[in-house]
């Protein structure tokens, strides 16, 4: 049941022109109407305009000296025009004071009539008073003010204790019999006309369904449930009653576990290694049968195999066949390569199918000068180790009468030939042997622009066979 809309009363009071005039306004959202009590001197007219800070184009209510009340839309600092009446009123005069009791709709009858906000709040006012006829009032008989319409109906919803019923039952709420769960409301009225809401919730006391943890038995065994011996898989129910008189059902499921007889995936080992498989460490290959019990004590027969893993392909290590140049290329990107120092027996670097010391050049360079081997590890394979090779890591400044500077270089490579006698051809190669550039060295000192080459190691080969390594940053 939807909550009834909550009617609100907004009211406020203000004095206009000192104590000469008083204005009381009450806004009732139940009737969407405005009530005013507007008092002023009975010796002449008095007036109030709404929602403005000047008299230009302002909706104004005027109480005339003869006790009549009219609505006007003021002009530009002049009396403007009388509007069609949207009010009802009466006026009482006593002791020199006239009080007009005015009622009208909250929303203006036309675009020229002022509309009051349904949420109350502050309203700017202008006021004036004058002689026996509506006209010039003089500067001392006019001014500005405001009135604040404050909610008088901030009453909380009264929530009654929740009523509980069993499915199929009913309960009396606010004079009516209710058989559906939900929230119900009754709307009352306070002495000042505000709504007072009473809330009553009705909810089912659902049947208590108490599901006990399932019981497992082995095939051929039995268990007693609710006074009955059970040997097969089933679900049993027992019906009780709650203190409120609603049904209470207890559920008990019985599971029958058969003997486990299964085959599992084979385990792999490398020669000389062991693997923990089917409850023990195993070093031999072949079929394995494990006789045990399940967690519930039933028979469990598990069959498996232990097999040798294939050995990783040592052909994925490639040695560059150049004089005084030694690089190892890891061709298997699915493998992990470990550098092994053959002199010290230490693992010194780990790469993932690419060189971590010189990333991007696609070859594996040992971390220092000396004897090193590459150990290859790949998931699902037995690891293997290459032979030990001697690596030259320091690029020579002078070798075979040739010097290369700077090493490494970023943009220019200076080639100096001590025994230069005539132009000699050259090749720039990658470490895999691919020719990248060719040309002639026409003096004993030549600068080559290599800034467009990727970082890594390269080779310089002269036509006479002399070959040197150089590195690009």
- Cα 49 → chain centroid: 52
Residue 104: cis peptide before it, omega within 30 degrees of 0:
no
User: Which tops the pLDDT comparison, 377 or 112?
Assistant: 112
User: Which tops the pLDDT comparison, 133 or 109?
Assistant: 109
Question: In Å, how far are 319, 366, 415, 427, 462 from 433, measured between CA atoms?
Answer: 11, 19, 20, 10, 14
Tell me the C-alpha distance between 400 and 396, whole Å.
10
Question: In Å, how far are 9, 127, 170 from 53, measured between CA atoms?
Answer: 26, 10, 61
Identify whether the C-beta of residue 89 lies closer than 8 Å to the C-beta of residue 69: yes
What are the pLDDT digits (tens) for 268-318? Answer: 888 888 889 888 999 888 898 888 887 777 878 889 998 888 887 666 665
Pairing between strand 81-82 and 69-73?
antiparallel
What are the pLDDT digits (tens) for 135-149? Answer: 777 777 889 999 999
Tell me the C-alpha distance between 68 and 88, whole Å.
11
User: What's the pLDDT score for residue 398?
Assistant: 39
**Is the model's pTM score more than 0.75?**
no
User: Which tops the pLDDT comparison, 136 or 54?
Assistant: 54
Is the pLDDT confidence value at 330 over 80?
no
What are the pLDDT digits (tens) for 174-186? Answer: 788 888 888 888 7
What are the pLDDT digits (tens) for 418-469? Answer: 888 899 999 998 876 789 999 999 999 999 999 999 988 888 888 887 878 8
Name the most confidently modeled range: 35-39, 328-332, 420-424: 35-39
Pairing between strand 195-204 and 163-165?
parallel
Q: What is the mean pLDDT of residues 255-259?
A: 82
18: left (phi over 0), alpha (psi -120 to 50) or beta: left
Is the pLDDT confidence value at 28 over 80?
yes
User: What's the pLDDT score for residue 194?
Assistant: 72
User: What's the pLDDT score for residue 359?
Assistant: 44
Domains and CATH numbers, the chain: 9-151 (2.60.40.1210), 158-204 (no CATH), 208-257 (no CATH), 260-308 (no CATH), 314-391 (2.60.40), 402-472 (2.60.40.10)
Output the average pLDDT for the chain: 81
């Amino acid at each position: 049941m939807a909550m009834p809309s909550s009617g609100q009363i907004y009211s406020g009071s203000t004095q206009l022109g000192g104590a000469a005039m008083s204005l009381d306004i009450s806004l009732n959202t139940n009737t969407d109407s405005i009530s005013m009590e507007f008092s002023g001197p009975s010796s002449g007219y008095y007036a109030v305009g709404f929602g403005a800070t000047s008299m230009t184009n302002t909706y104004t209510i005027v109480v005339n000296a003869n006790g009549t009340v009219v609505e006007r839309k003021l002009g530009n600092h002049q009396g403007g025009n009388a509007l069609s009446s949207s009010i009802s009123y009466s006026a009482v005069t006593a002791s020199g004071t006239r009080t007009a009791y005015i009622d009208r709709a909250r929303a203006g009858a036309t675009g020229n009539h002022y509309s009051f906000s349904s949420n109350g709040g502050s309203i700017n006012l202008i006021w004036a008073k004058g002689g026996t006829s509506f006209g010039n009032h003089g500067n001392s008989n006019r001014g500005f003010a405001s009135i604040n319409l404050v909610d008088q109906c901030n009453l909380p919803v009264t929530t009654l204790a929740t009523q509980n019923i069993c499915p199929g039952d009913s309960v009396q709420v606010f004079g009516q019999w209710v058989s559906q769960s939900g929230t119900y409301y009754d709307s009352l009225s306070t002495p000042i006309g505000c709504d007072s809401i009473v809330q009553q919730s009705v909810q089912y006391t659902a049947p208590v369904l108490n599901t006990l943890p399932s019981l497992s038995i082995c095939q051929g065994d039995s268990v007693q449930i609710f006074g009955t011996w059970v040997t097969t898989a089933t679900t049993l129910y027992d019906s009780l009653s709650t203190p409120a008189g609603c049904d209470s059902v207890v559920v008990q499921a019985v599971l029958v576990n058969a003997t486990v007889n299964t085959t599992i995936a084979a385990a792999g080992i490398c020669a000389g290694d062991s693997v923990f498989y089917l409850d023990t460490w195993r070093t031999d290959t072949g079929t394995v049968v494990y006789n045990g019990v399940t967690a519930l004590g039933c028979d469990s027969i598990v069959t498996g195999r232990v097999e040798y893993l294939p050995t990783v392909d040592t052909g994925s290590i490639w040695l560059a066949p150049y004089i005084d140049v030694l690089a190892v290329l890891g061709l298997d990107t699915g493998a992990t390569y470990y550098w092994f120092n053959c002199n010290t027996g230490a693992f010194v670097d780990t790469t993932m199918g690419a060189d971590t010391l010189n990333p991007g050049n696609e070859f594996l360079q040992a971390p220092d000068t000396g004897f090193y081997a590459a150990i290859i590890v790949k998931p699902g394979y037995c690891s293997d180790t290459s032979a030990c090779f001697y690596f030259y890591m320091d690029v020579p400044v002078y070798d075979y009468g040739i010097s290369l500077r700077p090493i490494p270089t970023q943009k220019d490579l200076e080639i100096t030939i001590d025994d230069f006698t005539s132009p000699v051809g050259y090749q720039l190669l990658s470490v895999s042997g691919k020719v990248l550039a060719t040309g002639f060295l026409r003096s004993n000192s030549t600068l080559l622009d290599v800034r467009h080459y990727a970082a890594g190691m390269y080779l310089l080969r002269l036509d006479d066979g002399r070959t040197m390594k150089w590195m690009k940053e």
